Structure 1
Amino acid sequence: MPSSEAATGPVRLVLASASPARLSVLRGAGVEPIVRVSGVDEDALTSALGPSASPETVVTELARAKAAAVAETFSGSADDLVIVGCDSMLSIGGELHGKPHSVDVARERWQSMAGNSGELLTGHAVLRVTGGLVVAQAAAHSSTTVHFATPSTADLEAYLASGEPLLVAGAFTLDGLGGWFVDRIEGDPSSVVGIGLPLVRTLLTRVGTSLAALWDQTPS
């Protein structure tokens, strides 16, 4: 339910994610968000969507659920807020991959990723909350092609041992140790890190919020 009423005063952005990478991107872009983790059971929601759900639908609905769960925690707030939910997964050969959680799974993922390319799908949902009520919302996804290098066995094992790839979508990062193994990307680099600034800007406009309203909250 988009809103044609644009925010005229300062608006606080709430990031519905514990991701330090997403937080860093927002801070670098001039926004100091409130961080509130949703607690959504991603595996249960993905299962509920069923095997016929497209990868684009999965990441978008996960983002929407996270934003909605966090919105409920502000039900008594008088503040003007925009809540941003995010979800990312890597699609390789038509198979969707989230966080591997274990070294064995991450190693198996890299065996299929090395020397190949995949589509990093990022779903975003933005909810505008005024006086504790959701007054507008918008959601969409973006896709970025990632071309992977072929790391040596020693480099890959060292990367796996670092623990970094275990808790990130697709078992790699662009802005960390995994950046060594990304040859190039086609699309939005911020979406690969975890939060696509161009897409979020578009969604903010759809719910009647400007970047200027968010930047007003940035500490001097």
Structure 2
Amino acid sequence: MSVTLLLGSASTSRAAILTRAGIPFTQLAADIDEAALVTDVPEPRVQAQALATAKAHAVSNMLLRDTLPDGPTYIIAADSVFEFEGHAYGKPQHPDVAIERWRAQRGKAGILHSGHTIIAVLGGRKQRIVQETVSATVAFANVSDSVIDDYVATGEPLFVAGGFTLEGHGATMIAGVDGDPNAVLGLSLRAVREMLDRLGVALTPLWTATE
């Protein structure tokens, strides 16, 4: 029986990570109130995992409500929270917020936490749930105010955790990464493979499914 991997996210970055790895998947975005969910969760690492788990449940609930899966389906969800000087930072969303954050973090380092949750939908219901949070330290270049202003003006950092990315323009402002770079991009492939292993699903046979 074929296995379906469903990415529970609208993120183009996470989709691109799976695509580059030759992993076949479908995609369905989660709709959750992120701000309300983390109100009572101060720890950045715990926030990231809570958001990933909420997304996975939201997507699996939509799937079971609207379309009964034909076979085993595994919902993969992830979310990231940036920790800087002990505080949690999500997406800046506004240019002035992004500028303020970048001026504070330039020349320093923070920790990007990416929570991962996989829910196995078997026999028309949720059967098993596995979770893992992957963290990596990101060091930032000591860039000038004008570089920060120009970067924020591109709009790239507004809707990513911590206001930065390893892709695009943001790559020019990262001094180094200690940890899984894919986790910083939003989805640790190592974690996904090991989590699927725990659910009895081997990832490598799926590589040939797209050939």
TM-score (norm 1): 0.90
Which residue does the alignment assign to 1:72? 61
Q: What root-mean-square deviation, in Å, do the aligned CA atoms of Structure 1 and Structure 2 show?
A: 1.3
CA apart distance, 1:33: 1.6
Distance (whole Å) between structure 1 residues aligned to residue 136 and residue 142 of structure 2: 19
Distance (whole Å) between structure 1 residues aligned to residue 154 and residue 119 of structure 2: 36
Seen in structure 2, the aligned counterparts of structure 1 residues 214 and 67 have a Cα distance that, compared at 3 Å, is farther
User: Matched residues, percent identical?
Assistant: 38
Which residue does the alignment assign to 2:85? 93
Does the aligned pair in 1 maintain the 2:111–2:137 contact within 8 Å? yes
- What's the secondary structure of 2:30's corresponding residue? coil
Q: Which runs of 5+ in 2 are unaligned?
A: none
Seen in structure 2, the aligned counterparts of structure 1 residues 31 and 60 have a Cα distance that, compared at 3 Å, is same
- Aligned pair count reads 208
Which residue does the alignment assign to 2:128? 136
Verify: 1:211 aligned to 2:211, yes or no: no
CA apart distance, 1:136: 1.3
Match of 1:199 among 182, 188, 191: 191
Which residue does the alignment assign to 1:20? 12
Question: 1 or 2 for the larger relative contact order (CA 8 Å, sep ≥6)?
Answer: 1
Does the aligned pair in 2 maintain the 1:119–1:143 contact within 8 Å? yes
- What's the secondary structure of 1:140's corresponding residue? strand
Distance (whole Å) between structure 1 residues aligned to residue 135 and residue 73 of structure 2: 27
Q: Which runs of 5+ in 1 are unaligned?
A: 1-8
CA apart distance, 1:217: 3.6
- What's the secondary structure of 2:38's corresponding residue? helix
CA apart distance, 1:216: 4.5
Which residue does the alignment assign to 1:158? 150
Match of 1:120 among 106, 112, 123: 112
Verify: 1:185 aligned to 2:166, yes or no: no
Distance (whole Å) between structure 2 residues aligned to residue 116 and residue 25 of structure 1: 27
Distance (whole Å) between structure 2 residues aligned to residue 106 and residue 154 of structure 1: 13
- What's the secondary structure of 1:74's corresponding residue? helix
